[in-house]
Amino acid sequence: MAEEQNQAAAQPQPDQMQFQLQKLYVKDVSFELPNAPEIFQDPGQAEIKMNLSQRVNDTSENMFEVLLTVTVTAMTGEKTAYLAEVQQAGLFMISGFNEQNQHTVLNTLCPHTLFPYASRVITDLVADGGFPPLVLQPINFDQIYAQRMAEANAKASGGDELEVQGNA
């Protein structure tokens, strides 16, 4: 009897919300040192800029590939010290959510899950490239999502546009 109850509890119910990371992988990685070896003699402090982008591909029913691209550019004066980019991807099984909640999960929880892995790859690339280790600060994807939704709503209602800029 107890075994039947455990099996029933393990079986997902049709209307039950589910979120599972099925597969984690690096889809693409790039590291460039366009001004090596001269850049290593430059005594200046590098200015670091980070850009994030995300793409969601619907692969099959309830399966989504989420691709988080993290690009870090280090500039010393007018010279590029390095450019590191990783496309960290994950296959996520998402079911039982209404359309709005699914959209929110794909744009907050999924990139939040992928970011630490992308950050580790960037840190390793920079260190292997001969530079001091770079530790990326955590990103609040909930705040980014809320800001994007507010911008979209402002544009849809004809309100003033909100411009956001920032550095890592």
In this prediction, residue 127 carries a pLDDT of 96
In this prediction, residue 102 carries a pLDDT of 94
Q: For 23-44, give one letter per residue: b (16+ CB within 10 A) or e.
A: eeeeeeeebebeeeeebeeeee
In this prediction, residue 75 carries a pLDDT of 95
In this prediction, residue 10 carries a pLDDT of 52
In this prediction, residue 135 carries a pLDDT of 92
Omega of the bond leading into 37 within 30 degrees of 0 (cis):
yes
Vertex 163, ends 104 and 47: CA angle to 5°? 95
* Start-to-end CA span in the chain (Å): 56
In this prediction, residue 153 carries a pLDDT of 87
Strand partners, 63: 60, 93
Dig out the tokens for 158 from the structure. 């004809």
Q: Which residues contact 86 (CB under 8 A, 6 or more apart)?
A: 26, 28, 29, 30, 69, 70, 118, 121, 122, 125
Domains of the chain: 16-156 (3.10.420.10)
In this prediction, residue 119 carries a pLDDT of 97
In this prediction, residue 162 carries a pLDDT of 40
Reported pTM: 0.80
Three-class secondary structure of residue 41 per DSSP: helix
Task: Indicate the angle between helix axes 99-107 and 141-156, nearest 10 degrees.
Answer: 130
In this prediction, residue 146 carries a pLDDT of 93
| Residue the block writes with tokens 């850009």 | 51
Three-class secondary structure of residue 159 per DSSP: coil
Inter-residue contact 61 to 74 (CB < 8 Å): no
| Residue the block writes with tokens 């892995």 | 117
Three-class secondary structure of residue 168 per DSSP: coil
Question: Which stretches in the chain have pLDDT values below 50?
Answer: 160-168
